[in-house]
Amino acid sequence: MAPQPHIVIKPQANFRAFSPEKVFLSARPAATWGVFAGITALFVLSNVPLVKKDVLSNIPFVGRYWKVEESA
């Protein structure tokens, strides 16, 4: 009986060198960095009145903190 190889190469579907395994392995870090970048952008832009009025004041439960008083 012939010895079995230690590494078995199996064909795997891919699209432009991205296999499903690579995509799933990199999805969580990409999502983490995306959330971090979004929170950082909101923190940096939190003093801009338009961001306060349109974005931050519409967040459920904590939006009251950034409510902009309408001037008459």
Domain boundaries, the chain: 21-66
- Which has more pLDDT, 32 or 53? 32
Retrieve residue 14's tokens: 């891919």
- Report pLDDT digits (tens) over 2-50: 777 788 887 777 777 788 888 888 899 999 999 999 999 988 988 888 8
- Which has more pLDDT, 6 or 67? 6
**Closest-CA residue to 56 (of 71, 39, 72):** 39
